[in-house]
C-alpha cells in the first residue's frame, strides 16, 4: 500500500481567506518554483475532493473548496452561474487578452476504491469515486491560475484571467450551459488539461456524443390469457434496436451507436407496458452526428408506429467534438517539454508495478510517464467531453499529464487508486506548471492569440458557423439523483 | 396409367347451338338421370378446360366453352360483365326466386401434370395446370344449371336461374367485382361447390384473406466503397418482417400472417435500392382482419420510416370469410346423401392406391369417397375463396365432392392428375346432381329461402352491416401476366 | 370502507391444542352446519394469513397456523416434507380410500393492498399481498378437512383423510416436489379449489407452463473506443428474442411464449457483458410444450453461437396442465349446487359496486356470485398451477368459489382487497362446504373412485404414461429472495 | 455518338502466326514507339473482346484471340492451365529474372451497352458487357509483353517473360487457382494494371474479400392450414441477417458485410422450405477477415439451430487484399510519368462532356486524365481483386490508366461505353507503354527485384507466413452459368 497524499493541516491554511497574500512567492521566483512551493497544499486539496467524491451537480464541497482557494489567492468569485449551484467563475485582472483555465471536480458513480492500493477494494460499496481524476483536474487548474495571476500581478500588464469551475462533466454537461449563458463570449483562449497515463499536448479531437433515454409505452395485458389485447413496449424497444443495428451499415464507419436496456418489463406473464433504454451515438463531427441523430429519432418513431406503441425521448448529453488548435497546442507542447514528465520514487514504482500486473495488455509502456509524447496532429480520441462545446466558441487547448500508471484507463478502479495517491499528485503538478506557463505566454505574446483565432475561424468554416446544441434547455441538475 | 376422360366428338355436339333442344330428356326423367344421360358430354367439356389450363382472367377458351354450352341449352348469355372479359352471366326464366349457381374455371401456374398418372410428370414444364379442379367446378355447375332449367321449364313455375361464370378465383377475385357491379343484388340464394377429397355439405366458413405486394425503395450504393450513402430497401423489408413477427403475439391466435421475399437485391456488392415481398394475412372474421391489416400497414410505414426507405403496397387479394348458412346447408346435405358418393372401378382403385402411396399421412381414409360426411356446423377451413364476398351479400351454400383420391390436397400435382381423370368426373357428377336437386328444392319450397334469409340477416349482424372490400377498385386483369 | 374480517380472540382458541375436541359438533349436525358453526374462527385464520402475506417457501407463520389448526382438530402433522420447510401433511384415519385435500397459503410480491377498500392503497409500498386469495384457499381446505374428518369419525368407516399444505404455488412449485417425493403415491383422489369471481366446478384444464431465466454472457468493452473487442450479451438476448418471435408462426396457435428483459446492460458506453431475461412458454398439453421447449433451448443456443456469447438457463417453473376428471367434477358440481353461491349484505354490495367501477369491461355480471355456473367440460383456462402435476398422478378435481367481486381478475389489487374482506370469507365458506361434502361422498360411495380412476387412466393414455418434469431437481427455496 | 474503335482487317494480320516477325520494329525503335506502331491492331483486338463480352470461365474467344496474338509474336503458349480451359501462360526467353505480366478478359453480366454513346443503351437487353474494361486490360498487357519481349530479344540478355491469361476475375478467381497450381512459384515480379478514370501508380492496397452463397432449408407447409408443421427457411436466413447486423458493431470499423436475398420463398401461402442469399465480407487484411468469416459461419449455424432449419454455404470468392510494394511502385510511377496521360480529341472531349453530365458528383475533375497522380503510399481502395492472391506470393505492382472519362466508376454503363471507345484505347496504350518500360527496367537492373523481394518479405511478416485461401478447392467453372 502506498501512502495516500494528504496534508490536512495545510489545507485549512490554504482555504483561509488571505492565504495567497501570506504565502506569496518573492518576485524573482519562477512559475514552476512557485507551484512547487505550494505542492503540499494542492495535494491536500486534491485529496479532500477525492474524499468527497461528489457526483455531477452535487459537488457542493468540492466546488466550495476550490472557490475558497481561489478567493484566498485574490480572485473574485461568482458562484451559481448559468443556473447551476456548483458552477462558478473566479476572475482576476482586467482588459484583454482574456484567458480561461478550466477546472472540473465531479466523480463517477459506483467507483469507490481505496487510494494507493493495487487491488479492487471499495471504500464504500456502491459509492462514488474519482475514476477520471477530476479531483486532480480542478486542483491543478487552480494552481495554474494562481501562479499565472501572480505573474500577471508582478508584470503589471493588462489582461484578465478566469478560472471556470465547470460541474458535471461526466454527463450533465455543465460547460454547455456556461457557453449558452454567454460566459465565454469575451474569452480569447481556453487552457485545459485532463488526467491520463501519459504526458502529451496534441492538437487532438474527440468524438461528438449525443445520449438520450428512450421510453416506449404500450398496453399491459395478461400474456397467456389475452396477449392480443396487449401492445408490448419491449417490442417497440427491440424493433428500435433492430433498426439501429441495420443502420450501422449506412452511417460513416467512424460512427458509434450503443445502448443498454434499463427497463424491459416487470414479470414475464404480463405484456410490458413500459420499456426504457439508454442510447448514445458518436461521430468525429457533431454536424454529421446531428444528421445521424435525426435518423435515429426516425427509427424510434418507426418502431413505435410499427409495433402499436408510443415513444418519447429525453436527451441527456450532447457534447461537441473538440475543435483542435495547432497554434495553441504547439505552445502548450513546448511548455510541457520544458516541465518534463513524472518520476516515481521506489515506493511509487512498486505500486505502479503492482497496478500494471492487474492490467490486460496495457498500451503505454512502463517508464513512459517520465517522458513527453511527440506533438501530433489530427488524432481523434474515443472519449467525449463538454470541453468540445467550448472549443467551437473559443480557441481551446487541452493537454494530458501522467497522473495514472502507464496503461491505466480512465473510469477504472486503478484510476481511482492512482488519483488518490502521490503518483496522481505528481502528474497534477506537471499539468499545473505547463498550463501556467502557457497562460503567461499568451499574455506575453499577443501574436499567439491572433494566430490561434485565425486557425479557429478557419477550422470552424468561417463566419457561417452557428453553434447549436441538442442538450436540454436547462441543466439536468438531478441527472445523478 | 389411367385412361384420361375424353370424348371429343361429343363436345362438338354439346357446344352447338340447339343442342339442349335436340337432347332434351323426356319429361319423366329425374334430375340425376338427366345428368347421367349427358355424363360423357360433360366429361369432355371438363377435359377440354383441363387441357386449356388457362390462368385467371385469361380463361378465354374455357369461358367460351361454358358459355356456348349454356347458350346451347337455352340460357341467354351476357359476357364480359363487371369489366372482366371472361366473366359472364347465363340466365333462364323470370321472376322470383332468383337462384344462382357459381362456376369457376381458372388454373394454377406451374402445375402442369399428366392426367391419371401417379407420378409427378408435367405435360409442359412450368406451364399451368388445374390443381384446384376448377375444370370440374365450372362444368358441374353448368350441368346442374341445365338440369334445373329443364325442371323449371317442365314445372312451368316462375323463377330465375342464373349461372355466374366467375373468373380468377385463384387470386384475382372475379366474384368481388361481380358483387361490386351489383350483379348479385336481386339474387335470393347462391349454390356452389368445390372439388375435394371427400363428400360433404357443412355450414362451414373459411378464413378471410388479404394479400398484397409490398415494395420498398431505397438508394443504391457500392456496398464496400460507400455503404453510408446507400439506404437498403432490403433493410426496410426485413424490418417490416421483424415487426410482423413481433405482431404475431398480439393478434388473436387464429390469425395467420405469412410472406415470401420476391426481390431482395441484385448483387451483394450493391446496396439494394428495391426489395419486394408478397404478404398475406388471414382471420376467421374479415372485420377483425381489416383492423389487423391496418396495423400491418403501419408496420410497413414504420419500417420505411426507421430505415430511411419508402414503401408502397398493392392489394392483390381481399376475400371475405364465407358466411355459412345452416338452412341451406341442411337442404344441400340432404340432397348429397340422396345422391351418394363415388365408387371406383378396379382400374380407378389401382390408380387411387398408387396416388395414396405418394402422400404423407393422408387424413381422409381410403374408401371414404364412397360415403358422405355427417353435417357439421361451425367449422372454419383454412382455405380462402372469393365466394366469401358473395356470401355476405346473398345467402350462400357450398358443398364438396370427392373428385380427388382421399388425402389428396388441393394445389398438388396429385390433384391435377385426379382432375383430369375419370375419378374427377365421377365426383363432378355427384356435385352436379346435388346442386341441381338443391336448386329445384329452392324453387319448390319458398319457405327455405325465407328461412335462409332470416338466418343470413342475423349472422351478418342485422341492418347495420355494410359490405366493404380492400380489393383494388378495378379487376387486376394482368395479375397472372 | 368495508369492515375487514377478523376475530382475533377466536383464533387463539382455534389454534390451541384440543380445540376440535372441545368444539366438536353434535353427531346430528350436517357438514354445512358444522362449518358454519366455526365460520368466525376460520375467518380469523384467513385474515391472519392475509396479514402475514408470506412469499413462496417463506410461509413460516401461515404454514404453522394451518398446521396447529389441523393438529388441534385431531390430525397428525408431518412438517418439512419433500425438502421444503413450509410443506406439511396432516393426516387422519387409516385404510382406503385415501382422499387428499389441497391447501395453499403463499402470497404475491408487490401486491400489498388495504382490505375492503375500493381504491389502490398499499399497506406497505412494495410489500407482498394475497392477490390470488391463497389465505382463503388454505383455510377453506382446512375447514373442509376438519368437517370431513368429523364425519369419518362419526361414521366409523375406514378411510384416510389428508391435508397437503403445499407451499409456493406462485412459482416455486411445492406440489411438484411433493409428487416427486412420492407423497401422493397412495392417494385415491385429490380435492381442491381456487378463489375466483364465480362459483363453478368444471372439468376444466389449464395451460402447462415452463418458465426459466436465461442469462447471456459476453465480453465488456468500451463501446466507443473498442466495440470490436466486445461481445454484447444483449445482442445474444435480443437475437434469442428475435428467433422466439419467428417461432411463434411455427408452433400450435394455442401456444404462448412471453418474456421480459431484467438486465440489459449497465451503462450505454460499455458493451454489456451480461444480460438476463425471464421467459415462459405455455400450451394446453405439457408433452407438446416440452417439445416446444426443446426448440426454445435451441433458439437460445443458436443466439449465443451466432453472437459470440454464451448462454445458460435455469428452469424456475414447470407446471403440467391440469388433467380434468369429469367423474369427480360431476360430484363436486352437484355438491356446489347444493351449497349455493354467495349473497352480499348491503354493505358488501356497496363495496362490490365500488370495486366494479374500477374494472374495465368485467366479464362476469354483477349478481352472478349468488349462482353456480353450469357444469362444462373441455374448457382450458389461461392460468397455470402446480396442481397440474398432481392431476397426472392422481384423479383430481378442483372448483372455483366466488371470493372476488364478479369481474375481478386474480393477481390484482382488487383481488387482495376482496381476499381480506367478508366477501372473501363468504366465498371461502362455500368452497369449504362443497369440498367437505365431496370428500364425504368419496368415502361413502367407492364406485366414484373406481370410475374416476378409469377415466384418469384413459385420459393419461394408458399404462405407457410416465410423469416427468423439467423442474429443477431440488425445490428453489430462495426463488423469492 | 463517338466512333467506336475498330480495325477488323488488321486483327486478322495480328492474329496470324508469324505476325510479329513480319512486323517487328527496327532495333532502334523505342518501346513507346514500338507500341504506337501497332496501336490500331491492338485497338482492334480490344474491340473484338469488347464485342465478345464473355463471362468468367466462358471467355473462349477472348482467350483464344490473346493467345494467338502472343503466339504470333513469338511466345510459346500453354492453354487450359490450372484446370481452367480459358487460362493460359505465354512464355518467352529463359533464365532469371522471371517477370510476369497479367492479363484479364472477362465481362460482367447484364452490362450490355453501346460503345461511345452517352446514354444508357444496351446492345442486347440483359446481355454481358465490359463494365470493368477487361477487354483493354488483357490487350494492353499483351502489347506490353510483346514490346518487352522485343527488347529482351534485341538486348540478348537472360530473363524469362510470361503473360498470364487469368480468367474470371469478376468472381471466379482464376488467379487463385493459378497460384495454387504453383504457376507463380518461380516468378520474381508481377506487373499489372487496371482500367480507371485516372493515371496513377500507387503502392495501394485493396480490401480482402470473401463471398459465399448461403442456402437455408426448412420444411414446407401450408401457411394458413398448418404453419406449425412448417420450418421457414426464410426465418433462418432473416435470423442470419439479423445476427450479421448485430455483428457490425463488434468488428473493426473498416469491415464491410453486405448481402442480398436471391430466393425468399415461392408463394406467400406456403412456408418457404428453401431460401438463399449472397453474402460478402471485406477487410483490409485477409487474416483479420478470415477470423471474422469464422464468426459469420457461426452466425449462420446459430440461425439454423435457432429456427429449426439447416444451412450450407459455398464460398464463391476469396480474394486477398493486395500486398503493395513501394519499390516496384516507384519504378512503375516513374515510367508512368515518362509516358504521360491521355489527351482527348475534340470529338472525344464532347463525348466526355456528355458522359460527365450523367454522373452524380464525380470525384476526379475533367482534364485530370491528361496528368499523372502523385505517388502515394498506404491507400486502401474499396475494390477487391484476385491479384491480391498473387501479391502475397510474388512482389506485385499494379497501376491505373485513364481509360474512363474522369469520374466514371467501374461497373457502370458509362465504363462500358468508354471501354469500347477511342478514349479507352488511349488509356490502354498508356498502360501498355508503362508496363513494358517497367518490365524492361526489371531486366536491366537486378537490384530492383532484390529490393522488391526484401520489402515483400518484410511486409508479409517474414518466414512464418503461409498463404491459405478459403476459395473452393476447384475452380467454380460454372459460376456464371
Question: pLDDT tens digits, residue range A17-58?
Answer: 443 443 443 344 689 999 999 999 999 999 999 999 999 999
Confidence band of C17 (pLDDT split at 50, 70, 90): very low
Contact B248 C245 (CB under 8 A): yes
Of C224, C234, C241, the CB nearest to A260: C234
Give D253's contacts in chain A (Cβ within 8 Å). Answer: 253-254
Contact B264 D268 (CB under 8 A): no
SS3 C283: strand
At CB < 8 Å, which residues of chain B contact C? 242, 245-246, 248-249, 253-254, 257-258
pLDDT value of position A382: 85
Q: Of B22-31, B329-338, B455-464, D391-400, which range is least confident?
A: B22-31
pLDDT value of position B290: 96
Q: What percent of chain B has pLDDT over 70?
A: 94
Q: Is the peptide bond before A138 cis (omega within 30 degrees of 0)?
A: no
Task: Decide if pLDDT at B383 tops 90.
Answer: no
Between residues B360 and B327, the one the model is more confident about:
B327
pLDDT digit string, tens, across residues A88-129:
999 999 999 999 999 999 999 989 999 999 999 999 988 999
Q: Of A8-12, A358-362, C246-250, which range is least confident?
A: A8-12
Which of A214, A241, A250, A285 has the most B C-beta neighbours within 10 Å, making it the best mutation to test the interface with B? A250
Q: What percent of chain C has pLDDT over 90?
A: 85
Confidence band of B1 (pLDDT split at 50, 70, 90): very low
pLDDT value of position D165: 98
pLDDT value of position D361: 84
- Give me the phi and psi of C148, to 5 degrees please: -70, -35
Confidence band of A363 (pLDDT split at 50, 70, 90): confident
Contact A383 C225 (CB under 8 A): yes
The C-alpha cell that represents C328 in the structure block = 369427480
- Interface chains of chain D (3 or more CB pairs under 8 Å): A, B, C
Beta strand pairing call for B159-165 and B98-103? parallel
Of A228, A232, A302, the CB nearest to B302: A302
Between residues A171 and B242, the one the model is more confident about:
B242
Contact B250 A308 (CB under 8 A): yes
Give C225's contacts in chain A (Cβ within 8 Å). Answer: 382-383
- CA contacts within 13 A on the Cβ side of A429: 25
The C-alpha atoms of residue D424 and residue D3 are separated, in whole angstroms, by 12
- Give the residue-averaged pLDDT of C151-162: 93
Contact A261 C265 (CB under 8 A): yes
Task: Decide if pLDDT at C39 tops 70.
Answer: yes
Which of A195, A187, A17, A193 minimizes the C-alpha distance to A89?
A: A187
Closest CA–CA distance from residue A223 to any residue of chain B (Å): 9
Cβ atoms D319, D386 nearer than 8 A: yes
Give A227's contacts in chain C (Cβ within 8 Å). Answer: 256, 258
DSSP D371: S
**What is the count of residue pairs from B and C with beta carbons less than 8 Å apart?**
20
What is the largest distance, in Å, between two alpha-carbon atoms of chain D?
85
Contact D307 C301 (CB under 8 A): no
Closest CA–CA distance from residue A409 to any residue of chain D (Å): 20
Q: Is D400 exposed, middle or buried (0-12, 13-18, 19+ CB in 10 A)?
A: buried
Task: Supply the DSSP string of B15-32, one letter for each residue.
Answer: HSTTHHHHHPPPTT--HH
The C-alpha cell that represents A340 in the structure block = 518534463
pLDDT value of position C216: 98
The C-alpha atoms of residue B41 and residue B140 are separated, in whole angstroms, by 11
The C-alpha atoms of residue A141 and residue A432 are separated, in whole angstroms, by 6
Confidence band of B29 (pLDDT split at 50, 70, 90): low
Contact A303 B242 (CB under 8 A): no
pLDDT value of position D448: 97
A243 to chain D: closest CA residue:
D245
The C-alpha cell that represents D344 in the structure block = 482527348
Contact C228 D252 (CB under 8 A): yes
Q: What percent of chain C has pLDDT over 70?
A: 94
The C-alpha atoms of residue D199 and residue D183 are separated, in whole angstroms, by 30
C235 to chain D: closest CA residue:
D246
Beta strand pairing call for D208-217 and D310-319? antiparallel
- Averaged over successive runs of 10 residues, the pLDDT of chain D (481 residues) comes to 38 38 47 95 98 97 98 98 98 96 95 93 93 97 97 92 97 96 98 97 95 95 91 98 98 97 92 96 96 98 98 95 97 97 97 93 92 92 93 97 95 94 98 97 95 96 90 92 83
A255 to chain D: closest CA residue:
D253
DSSP B118: S
Grid coordinates 518466414 are at which residue? D463
Task: Supply the DSSP string of A103-159, one letter for each residue.
Answer: E----BTT----TT-SS---SSTT--B-TT-HHHHHHHHHHHHHHHHHHHHHHT--E
Closest CA–CA distance from residue A89 to any residue of chain C (Å): 31
Cβ atoms B218, B240 nearer than 8 A: no
Give B256's contacts in chain D (Cβ within 8 Å). Answer: 223-224, 227
Task: Supply the ipTM of this predicted assembly.
Answer: 0.86
Measure the CA dihedral D448/D453/D454/D457, to 10°.
160
Confidence band of C29 (pLDDT split at 50, 70, 90): low
Give A226's contacts in chain B (Cβ within 8 Å). Answer: none
pLDDT digit string, tens, across residues B397-423:
999 999 999 999 998 999 999 999 999
Q: Which strands form A98-103's sheet, in the order they lie side by side? A: A76-79, A88-94, A159-165, A98-103, A189-196, A396-402
Closest CA–CA distance from residue C205 to any residue of chain D (Å): 22
**What is the count of residue pairs from A and B with beta carbons less than 8 Å apart?**
103
User: What's the full length of chain D, in residues?
Assistant: 481
Grid coordinates 505465354 are at which residue? D90
> Mean pLDDT in chain A?
92
Of A211, A262, A409, the CB nearest to C264: A262
Cβ atoms B188, B449 nearer than 8 A: yes
- Cα angle, residue D452 at apex, residues D451 and D453 outer, rounded to 5°: 90
Cβ atoms A167, A86 nearer than 8 A: yes
Please list the residues that pair with B319 across neighbouring strands: B209
Which of A238, A243, A246 has the most D C-beta neighbours within 10 Å, making it the best mutation to test the interface with D? A246
Give C269's contacts in chain A (Cβ within 8 Å). Answer: 258, 280
Of A232, A302, A308, the CB nearest to B305: A302
Confidence band of C1 (pLDDT split at 50, 70, 90): very low
- Give the residue-averaged pLDDT of A394-415: 95
Contact A224 C258 (CB under 8 A): yes
pLDDT value of position C285: 96
pLDDT value of position A464: 84
Cβ atoms B413, B238 nearer than 8 A: no
- Give the residue-averaged pLDDT of C367-372: 96
Contact B265 D261 (CB under 8 A): yes
pLDDT value of position A29: 60
pLDDT digit string, tens, across residues B435-449:
999 999 999 999 999
Contact B234 D261 (CB under 8 A): yes
Residues 6+ apart with CB under 8 A from B69: B14, B15, B19, B45, B142, B146
Closest CA–CA distance from residue D282 to any residue of chain C (Å): 15
A252 to chain B: closest CA residue:
B228
DSSP B284: S
Of D232, D249, D250, the CB nearest to C250: D232
Contact B232 A251 (CB under 8 A): no
Give B254's contacts in chain A (Cβ within 8 Å). Answer: none
Of A207, A222, A261, the CB nearest to C261: A261
The C-alpha atoms of residue C363 and residue C382 are separated, in whole angstroms, by 15
The C-alpha cell that represents C124 in the structure block = 406497505
Name the pTM for this structure.
0.90
The C-alpha atoms of residue C145 and residue C151 are separated, in whole angstroms, by 10
At CB < 8 Å, which residues of chain A contact D? 242, 245-246, 248-249, 253-254, 257-258
Contact A248 D245 (CB under 8 A): yes
Burial C31-56 (b: 16+ CB within 10 A, else e): bbebbbebbbbbbbbbbbbbbbbbbb
Grid coordinates 314445372 are at which residue? B155
Helix (H) or strand (E) holding C190: strand C189-196
Give A230's contacts in chain B (Cβ within 8 Å). Answer: 249-250
Task: Decide if pLDDT at C423 tops 90.
Answer: yes
Amino acid at each position: 500500500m502506498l501512502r495516500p497524499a494528504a496534508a490536512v493541516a495545510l489545507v485549512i491554511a490554504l482555504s483561509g481567506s488571505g492565504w495567497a497574500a501570506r504565502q506569496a512567492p518573492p518576485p524573482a521566483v519562477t512559475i514552476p518554483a512557485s507551484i512547487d512551493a505550494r505542492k503540499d497544499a494542492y495535494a491536500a486539496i486534491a485529496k479532500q475532493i477525492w474524499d468527497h467524491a461528489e457526483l455531477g451537480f452535487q459537488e457542493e464541497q468540492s466546488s466550495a473548496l476550490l472557490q475558497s482557494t481561489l478567493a484566498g489567492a485574490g480572485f473574485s468569485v461568482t458562484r451559481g452561474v448559468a443556473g447551476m449551484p456548483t458552477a462558478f467563475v473566479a476572475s482576476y485582472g482586467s482588459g484583454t487578452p482574456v484567458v480561461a483555465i478550466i477546472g472540473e471536480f465531479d466523480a463517477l458513480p459506483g467507483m469507490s476504491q481505496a487510494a494507493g492500493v493495487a487491488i479492487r477494494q471499495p471504500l464504500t460499496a456502491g459509492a462514488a469515486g474519482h475514476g477520471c481524476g477530476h479531483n486532480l483536474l480542478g486542483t491543478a487548474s487552480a494552481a495554474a491560475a494562481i501562479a499565472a495571476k501572480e505573474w500577471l500581478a508582478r508584470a503589471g500588464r493588462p489582461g484578465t484571467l478566469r478560472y471556470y469551475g465547470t460541474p458535471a462533466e461526466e454527463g450533465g454537461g455543465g460547460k454547455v450551459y456556461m457557453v449558452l449563458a454567454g460566459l465565454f463570449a469575451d474569452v480569447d483562449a481556453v487552457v485545459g488539461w485532463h488526467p491520463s497515463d501519459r504526458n502529451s499536448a496534441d492538437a487532438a479531437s474527440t468524438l461528438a456524443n449525443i445520449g438520450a433515454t428512450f421510453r416506449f409505452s404500450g398496453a399491459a395485458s395478461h400474456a397467456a390469457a389475452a396477449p392480443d389485447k396487449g401492445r408490448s413496449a419491449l417490442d417497440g424497444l427491440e424493433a428500435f434496436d433492430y433498426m439501429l443495428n441495420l443502420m450501422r451499415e449506412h452511417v460513416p464507419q467512424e460512427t458509434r451507436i450503443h445502448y443498454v436496456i434499463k427497463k424491459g418489463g416487470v414479470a414475464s406473464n404480463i405484456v410490458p407496458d413500459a420499456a426504457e433504454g439508454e442510447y448514445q451515438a458518436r461521430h468525429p463531427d457533431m454536424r454529421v452526428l446531428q444528421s445521424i441523430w435525426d435518423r435515429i429519432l426516425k427509427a424510434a418513431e418507426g418502431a413505435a408506429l410499427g409495433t402499436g406503441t408510443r415513444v418519447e425521448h429525453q436527451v441527456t448529453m450532447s457534447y461537441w467534438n473538440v475543435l483542435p488548435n495547432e497554434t495553441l497546442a504547439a505552445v502548450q507542447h513546448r511548455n510541457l517539454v520544458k516541465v518534463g514528465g513524472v518520476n516515481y520514487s521506489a515506493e511509487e514504482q512498486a505500486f505502479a508495478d503492482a497496478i500494471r500486473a492487474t492490467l490486460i495488455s496495457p498500451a503505454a509502456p512502463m517508464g513512459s510517464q517520465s517522458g513527453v509524447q511527440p506533438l501530433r496532429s489530427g488524432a481523434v480520441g474515443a472519449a467525449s467531453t463538454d470541453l468540445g462545446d467550448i472549443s467551437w466558441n473559443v480557441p481551446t487547448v487541452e493537454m494530458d499529464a501522467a497522473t495514472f500508471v502507464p496503461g491505466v484507463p480512465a473510469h477504472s478502479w486503478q484510476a481511482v487508486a492512482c488519483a488518490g495517491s502521490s503518483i496522481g499528485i505528481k502528474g497534477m503538478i506537471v499539468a499545473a506548471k505547463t498550463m501556467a506557463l502557457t497562460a503567461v505566454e499568451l499574455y506575453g505574446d499577443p501574436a499567439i492569440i491572433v494566430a490561434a483565432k485565425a486557425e479557429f475561424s478557419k477550422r470552424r468554416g468561417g463566419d457561417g458557423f452557428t453553434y447549436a446544441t441538442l442538450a436540454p434547455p436547462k441543466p439536468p441538475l438531478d441527472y445523478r439523483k
